[in-house]
Amino acid sequence: MIFRQLFDVVSSTYTYLLADEGSKRALLIDPVFSQARRDLALLEELGLTLALVVDTHAHADHITAAWLLKQKTGCQIASAKVLQAENVDLPLEDGQEFGVDGVRLKAVATPGHTDGCMSYVLSDQSMVFTGDALLIRGCGRSDFQQGSAHKLFESITKRLFALPDACLVYPAHDYNGRTVSTIGEEKAFNARVGGGANVTDFVEYMHAMKLPHPKKIDEALPANMRSGCPEDGRLPEDPSWADIHVTFGGVPEIDYNWLERHLDKVTVLDVRLDEEVKDAPVSEALVDLHIPLDQLRARVGEVPKDKPVVTLCRAGRRSAMAVNILKESGFEQVASLSRGLLAISRH
């Protein structure tokens, strides 16, 4: 199985990518709206098809990317039936098995943080995605969204702690950079519910917590009840000047196909060394300007500011650095030619 743990720094949310190496079909657990482009870039770079997205609950701190990813890929949306969120293709009930070819999960109802919380256990019980029911050495709050400390205690101790001790625990959040735990570890060391805590220990602990109202709840909850569909039902507008694809590495790139059709609208900057240009010249119809990468900072004033800039080099690595240098110098509309001149020779 292909497995990736992704992190959204704004909401401290973990998104999980699970895919089958054979079928190349993937599912995402708890994708974040503002990270959809990142997730799509990773799926593309790994050669995966997104078939399903699933949320562990109606989040109060971020908007799910479920709807947006469905618009982009045609994937299905799964979430707890009791939530009754809109735009859901696969409403999940306790005990239901679901997933994609080669990656099967079982839904386990774990209410308490919210009424609609579900955890998802991998079919061999080697991993569990616990949402906000069980966090590493902690748990989700139980003071809003029909939360109940009593129910949460039952969910954790009766449902999750019934899993094998070696089962890896992957939560929806961590605010201290911890990435994974195990059921055995949490049974022993969880700060609220581990070490033989009983329901009184837990409930008293939870009730003594005084937490501020979640900042984003008024915006996030209604949107998440639509599976992340904006109120006007429209895709967010793409403000970019070109058909830009941001790689998982964060580089804005354009394809040669796009460049060929828009040569008059951009300045094309070749950042290869002088000797490379001599050995492998490129048509003047394509390249407007040649400044080797190691001279770019000093000579950035030579780059015209009237048009967007597309940087190119042999393989598309140095041209990505050139994008950074141009951005530092105040250029906003810049992109690197994907795969550089290798894209043209193979064209």
Contact footprint for Fe ion (CB under 5 A):
132
CB atoms within 10 A of CB 24: 17
Cβ proximity to Fe ion, 114 vs 182, nearer residue: 114
Query: In whole angstroms, how large is the CA radius of gyration of the chain?
Result: 24
Q: Which residue is nearest to Fe ion (CB)?
A: 132
Q: Which is nearer to Fe ion, 132 or 270 (CB)?
A: 132
| Residue 278, phi then psi, degrees to nearest 5 | -65, -45
The DSSP-derived string for 159-195 is: IITTS-TTPEEEESB-SSS---EEHHHHHHH-TTT-T
* CB 113 to Fe ion: min, Å: 6
Smallest separation (angstroms) from Fe ion to the CB of 241 = 37
* Cα 336 from Cα 321, distance rounded (Å): 9
- The least distance separating Fe ion from the CB of residue 338, rounded to whole angstroms, comes to 38
Whichever of 46 and 217 has its CB closer to Fe ion, that residue is: 217
Which tokens belong to 79?
């979430």
What does the alpha-carbon distance between residue 286 and residue 86 come to, in Å, rounded to a whole number?
Answer: 49
- State the residue for tokens 């050669």: 47
For Fe ion, give the closer residue by CB, 143 or 288.
Answer: 143
Q: How many CB atoms lie within 10 A of CB 197?
A: 18
Min dist. Cβ of residue 13 to Fe ion (A): 9
CB of 59 to Fe ion, least distance (A): 5
Which CB atom, from 139 or from 254, has the smaller least distance to Fe ion? 139
